[in-house]
């Protein structure tokens, strides 16, 4: 392999590793934000469940209070019934007491239904509280791991950047200038492409037979793809 290609490949490996580390560092805040957003969604769901439970309990108290009021009213009507002097008054008192009895019966049925619903809601809230507490612990752990990972990536990046700077000093100036020009042209970080089966592995364009023959015959000479201008590394296809 040509020495220039080998140097370019070393630069490419370092640059791609640096780009990967930078992408990880940039992506960590987004991952943390996603975790926190998911946590907030579960907290809002828990608050909604608590609100439903509170509404259920309020309604239970209202129904119980209303039944108590009807019972008190029946007790008063019975006393007033004892003092009635006409049949019309007795009938009116009886109708009023029947109405209160029906309301009490309806409230008792409703209270039983609310009680059952309340038990289900209370179980849902307890389970949601438990799951949320566990999730908070897990999210905090992941945030700490992400922070540690980011710090580790930064240390690796600094070390790799220094090594890359040192290697850049050892690369011939003309080759380095050509390498940087290609790297800025292509955002995928691939400067050196393989030439296999007569085509460029990056842009997939066919390499002219004459150029391919020169690449094969002069391994110490640097050639570039005529389509994407990447440096070409000859890599003949191996039989299966």
CA atoms of 40 and 22, how far apart (whole Å): 28
Query: 240 or 147: whose pLDDT is higher?
Result: 147
pLDDT of 179-207, one tens digit each? 999 999 998 889 999 887 789 999 999 99
Distance CA 210, CA 206 (A): 11
Amino acid 227: pLDDT: 93
pLDDT over 80 (residue 54): yes
Exposure string for 221-231, b = 16+ CB within 10 A, e = fewer: ebbbbeebbbb
Amino acid 131: pLDDT:
94
Percent of the chain with pLDDT over 70: 97
Overall pTM surpassing 0.85 (yes/no): no
pLDDT of residue 2: 67
């Amino acid at each position: 392999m040509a020495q220039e290609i080998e140097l370019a490949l070393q630069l490419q490996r370092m640059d791609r590793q640096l780009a990967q580390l930078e992408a990880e560092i940039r992506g960590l805040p987004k991952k943390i934000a996603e975790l926190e957003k998911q946590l907030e969604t579960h907290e809002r769901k828990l608050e909604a469940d608590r609100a439903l439970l509170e509404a259920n309990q309020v309604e239970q108290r209202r129904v119980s209070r209303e039944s108590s009021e009807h019972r008190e009213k029946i007790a008063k009507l019975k006393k007033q019934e004892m003092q009635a002097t006409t049949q019309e008054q007795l009938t009116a008192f009886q109708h009023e007491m029947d109405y209160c009895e029906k309301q009490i019966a309806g409230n008792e049925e409703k209270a039983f239904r609310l009680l059952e619903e309340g038990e289900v809601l209370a179980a849902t809230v307890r389970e949601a509280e438990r799951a949320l507490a566990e999730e908070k612990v897990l999210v905090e752990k992941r945030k700490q791991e992400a922070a540690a990972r980011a710090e580790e990536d930064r240390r690796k990046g600094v070390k790799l950047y220094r090594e890359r700077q040192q290697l850049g000093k050892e690369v011939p100036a003309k080759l380095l200038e050509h390498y940087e020009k290609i790297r800025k042209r292509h955002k995928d970080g691939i400067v050196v492409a393989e030439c296999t089966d007569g085509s460029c592995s990056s842009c997939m364009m066919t390499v002219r037979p004459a150029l391919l023959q020169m690449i094969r015959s002069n391994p110490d000479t640097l050639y570039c793809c005529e389509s994407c201008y990447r440096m070409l590394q000859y890599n003949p296809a191996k039989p299966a």
